[in-house]
A and B are shown apart, each in its own frame.
Chain A
Amino acid sequence: MQWEPVIGLEIHVQLATKSKIFSGAANRFGAAANTQACAVDLGLPGALPVTNEAVLRMAVKFGLAVDATIAKRSVFARKNYFYPDLPKGYQISQYELPIVHDGRIRIELRDGAVKEVGITRAHLEEDAGKSMHEDFPGFTGIDLNRAGTPLIEIVSEPDMRAAGEAVAYMKKIHSLVRYLEISDGNMQEGSFRCDANVSIRPKGETKLGTRTETKNINSFRFVEQAINYEIHRQIAVVEAGNEVFQETLLFDPVKNETRPMRSKEEANDYRYFPDPDLPPVVIDNAYIETIRAQLPELPEQKRRRFMDDFGLSEYDSSYLTASKDTADYFETAVAATKGEAKLIANWIMSELSAALNRDNIDINVARVTAEMLAGLVNRIADNTVSNKIARQVFGAMWRGEGSADDIIEKQGLKQVTDTGEIEKSVDEVIAESGAQLEQYRNAPPEKQGKLVGYFVGQVMKKSRGKANPKQVNQLLSAKLKNLGRG
């Protein structure tokens, strides 16, 4: 039988506020344990929450960016369960009346197709603390610095049909929250993580199958692996004549498999009810419109503008606008050249991207800054260096050897454009290459073109790559033609 996977994601995004969602404690990663947990975050007797205005603004921003409905009245509710790193015995979240609902976002798939994914809701809530199981023999240590960190939980419709689609969606949301500057999106630090709901059904069936929820996945690669594992597992279960259970799973990236969570939380009854400490959040049109007016340029708008203003292809524009950092890098670099948009784009998409991948770092901390890349591209544009030499210069810049001009100067890489000097090399090469010249002479005209390459290579070698390849080509072609006739 043919099976169709049905996937929905719940993405948790930590909001980049100065203080926590319900307290004035700092919202910062990496502090010593429990030094950023105040009376409210610890759930001390008598402590009360007061909502941070910035989290509302950020949620509305997100809602507007995904074309969602913004609730004029939203309500914080308590989700009750006991857990050692959940200080109050409940999490303040939004349940029946979330701040954002019914949105949508376009994702581009690997084959270039475009798909719309529905966003059921996005609600505000507080993060829990962290449990450290390794450092205290026989015990678990609780650090509540993260407790009360503002989160927006973005719940998609079950619109995705393959792990790749889920990854494309997750990347799109990641890019968007960075564009909106509502989150640093740092996945290593847990600022951006997701739960994947997966079920399968026979192709053509419209009813949903029983789903499992794989919790707390914090990388794009793991999401893909976890979903694929889960799809195959569920198919195997059903094809063996068994049933898929609704359960909560954890993904183990080392073993590349999912396993059921051991805690008894699954069968939990969360007893949601409106938080009596927090009256409803009421906002008006003016508030929403003020935020709309301040929205930054979004990826889709930027993509169009890159095509219109820089004459870039749709592919290049999509690539460059996929992340705000890449788009900013591109624009900064282009601004430092005489409109060399295409060259800059090519360099970002090839050499820079390869270097970033190799060293596994983000573009905003690239060792070749946008200004440095522009300096190099300017030297290509004015024929100071060839593309080939430029790659060598780029490598040197990446190693921290200085600016393009410094490196070209120091290493004497300036391109030779003096015709006399090039002609001298050409003549020398022809004189030294008797056998190859003989071969060239005997070759039929349609094959002669290919044999020119050998001579070009030798000339370039002689000039240590500095001869202008275009000039070398012209001179060689003319001279060989004459010799060929001889």
Chain B
Amino acid sequence: MHEFTLAELSHLLQKREISSVELVETCLERAEQFNDGLNCFISLFPEPALERARHADELIGGGKAGPLTGIPVVHKDIFCTGGFKTSCASKMLDNFIAPYDATVVDKLNMAGSVMLGKTNMDEFAMGSSSETSFYGPVRNPWDASRVPGGSSGGSACAVSARLAPAATGTDTGGSIRQPAALCGVTGLKPTYGRVSRYGMIAFASSLDQGGPITQTAEDAALMLAAMSGFDENDATSAEAGVDNYTATLNKEIKGLKIGLPAEYFSEQLERPVTDAITAALNLLEEAGASIIEIELPNTELSIPVYYVIASAECSSNLSRYDGVRFGYRCDNPKDIDDLFCRSRGEGFGDEVKRRIMIGTYVLSAGYYDAYYLKAQQIRRMLRDEFSNALKQVDVIITPTTPSTAFPLGARVDDPVSMYLSDIYTVSVNLAGLPAISIPVGFNDGLPIGMQVIGDYFGEARILNVAHQYQQITDWHKRVPRDYQ
């Protein structure tokens, strides 16, 4: 039953053809079987999961079930889960048992879903390959010698290998969409403010956004409906009402205007990726959509702007890890500065330290205007370009990544080349727009992802486009051979 989508499982549970306990047992068995090879989980919680599954079965029996009741989910280990280890894949938080639930976790619990465990990721979500984890790299189910993408690599890997029907992730510069693309699954980054950030450990506060990773757009719609909404504990949470995302999935896309930015199809894009996107666009055209060339001329600058803003915010957000109140503390600190410096120096990995240092530098006296302020100004230019484009078109379609999954270790020693691979995703975070990545083909057995970007709070629209595409294709149904 592991191969079913969330929507299908929900249907089977409601009809009581399967029980949540059976389903959870199956997922847990598979997770334990495959985690040695994939390393996609940091923690699994079999006992609490089975207990929740039993409770879910009672609810279903009592006719009190919602679409997520009894559905196993896995959470990226960046979401605080009360009473359970929440590590952010860092030595710094290896001993951290969160004393409270993130709003997203709370909402998914309230919706009846069953948490199986916590997924591996890049340390503090800083990375594009899930290799910077304190717990070792996650592997791509399509090719274990390759990365699954990151930072939500463990979540994308778990869904791709059919270890769980749905996962949560967070996306600061592509961390949901890029691993979804590299693992051949569906990943949605909602509009900034759509999903509460409370209890989601901050990397870059003005960019971070939680979202679902699932097999299909329909499943993403079910998950988003449960995860999103205004939260009085997050001052950046949007008050806009939550749409009925599933109600509009089946709308025809006849007349849909798709924007295609020439800047996203440059020479660095691998040919097979271009071909897969072109083929997908042709299918959408056949379904009645029209394609319009648009311009996003400053796209190339989104990488430097992103790395200034994200690093600046992270340098400050991560100052709270000082060895005083929680988390790692160095042995025998000789004085207070030694306590700070060694706890942080030993508790954080190299990539996190690099970003903290860059962020500290760009905010420091004499450099603020040249770097941080300048980045904020270009951020406005980038956002305005998107806003203008979205006046002419309904959605914008781009590749999610310039290439398919790269080999483990290929880019770890070259941070800049790693950063450049985020070129198609980061500007969406800078602008705060929603975007979804869906599988649109393969090259040499490795999945290719296509990104559909929508207008602010236009999640229903991009889910609709993605779902319509998935109705006429079966890329999203492909399961890596070893996990069928």
Contacts and interface: CB of A to CB of B under 8 A. Distances in A.
Contacts of B236: 276-279
A47 B336 CA distance: 25
Interface stretch (B4-12, B62-70, B96-104, B181-189): B96-104
Contacts of B96: 45
A84 B233 CA distance: 26
B234 A48 contact: yes
A277 B98 contact: no
Contact of B233 (A43, A48, A78): A48
Interface stretch (A87-95, A182-190, A309-317): A87-95
A39 B324 contact: no
Interface in B197-220: 197-202, 204-206
B360 interface: yes
B360 A46 contact: no
B325 A50 contact: no
A271 B235 contact: no
Given A45-B80, A78-B316, A87 B325 contact: yes
A401 to B, nearest CB: 54
A45 B98 contact: yes
A51 B113 CA distance: 32
B322 A82 contact: yes
A81 to B, nearest CB: 9
A264 to B, nearest CB: 8
A45 B364 CA distance: 24
A89 B102 contact: no
A277 B235 contact: yes
A418 interface: no
A269 B365 contact: yes
A309 to B, nearest CB: 47
A428 B234 CA distance: 89
Interface string B356-388: 000010011100100010000000000000000
Contacts of B233: 48, 50
Nearest to A140: B336
Contacts of A273: 312, 316, 363, 368, 372
Given A45-B96, A46-B200, A276-B313, A90 B235 contact: no
Contacts of A272: 363
Interface in B223-274: 232-236
Given A89-B322, A90-B316, A39 B100 contact: yes
Contact of A89 (B99, B202, B316): B316
A369 B319 CA distance: 52
A87 B327 CA distance: 13
A238 interface: no
A42 interface: yes
Main secondary structure of the interface of B (DSSP, over half): loop
A375 interface: no
A80 interface: yes
A484 interface: no
A276 B206 contact: yes
Contact of B98 (A46, A80, A87, A144): A46
A276 B204 contact: yes
Nearest to B340: A82
B88 interface: yes
A43 B88 CA distance: 16
Interface residues of B, number: 44
Contacts of A277: 202, 205, 235-236
Given A46-B202, A271-B360, A89 B319 contact: yes
A209 interface: no
B93 interface: yes
Contacts of A78: 316
Nearest to B102: A46
B39 interface: no
A66 interface: no
Interface string A263-282: 01000010111001111000
B203 to A, nearest CB: 11
B145 to A, nearest CB: 33
A88 B325 CA distance: 10
Interface in A48-101: 48-51, 78, 80, 82, 84, 87-90
Interface string A19-62: 00000000000000000000100111111111100000000000
B326 interface: yes
A48 B198 contact: yes
A279 B318 CA distance: 20
B204 A80 contact: no
Interface in A114-144: 140, 142, 144
Given A45-B88, A84-B336, A276-B313, A50 B232 contact: yes
Most buried by A among B96, B236, B312: B236
Contacts, number: 100
A43 B201 CA distance: 11
Contacts of A90: 316, 319
A46 B363 contact: no
B235 A278 contact: yes
Interface in A300-321: none
A46 B201 contact: yes
Contact of B80 (A46, A89, A271, A278): A46
Contacts of A276: 204-206, 236, 313
Contacts of A47: 198-199
A271 B320 contact: no
Contacts of B336: 84, 140
Contacts of B326: 42, 44-45
Given A48-B198, A277-B205, A42 B316 contact: no
Contacts of B372: 273
Nearest to A131: B336
A43 B197 CA distance: 15
Given A84-B336, A269-B365, A276-B206, A49 B320 contact: no
B86 interface: yes
B347 to A, nearest CB: 13
A279 B236 CA distance: 7
A55 to B, nearest CB: 14
Contacts of B98: 45-46
Contacts of B204: 276
B19 to A, nearest CB: 33
B235 A49 contact: yes
Contacts of A269: 364-365
B370 to A, nearest CB: 14
Given A84-B324, A277-B205, A271 B316 contact: yes
A46 B199 contact: yes
Nearest to B360: A271
A45 B86 contact: yes
A87 B201 contact: no
Contacts of A45: 80, 86, 88, 93, 96, 98, 201-202, 320, 326
A82 B356 CA distance: 14
A144 B322 CA distance: 15
B320 A89 contact: yes
Nearest to B339: A84
A444 B98 CA distance: 98
A269 B363 CA distance: 9
A87 B86 CA distance: 19
A44 B317 CA distance: 11
Given A45-B96, A89-B318, 7 more contacts: A46-B102, A48-B197, A48-B234, A50-B234, A271-B360, A273-B316, A273-B363
Interface of A: 39, 42-51, 78, 80, 82, 84, 87-90, 140, 142, 144, 264, 269, 271-273, 276-279
29 contacts: A42-B326, A43-B325, A44-B320, A45-B93, A45-B201, A45-B320, A46-B98, A46-B198, A46-B199, A46-B200, A46-B202, A48-B234, A50-B232, A78-B316, A80-B315, A80-B319, A82-B340, A84-B324, A88-B319, A89-B318, A142-B324, A269-B364, A271-B315, A271-B316, A272-B363, A273-B312, A277-B235, A277-B236, A278-B235
The 8 closest A-B pairs by CB, nearest first: A89-B319, A276-B205, A271-B363, A276-B206, A46-B199, A43-B320, A45-B201, A46-B80
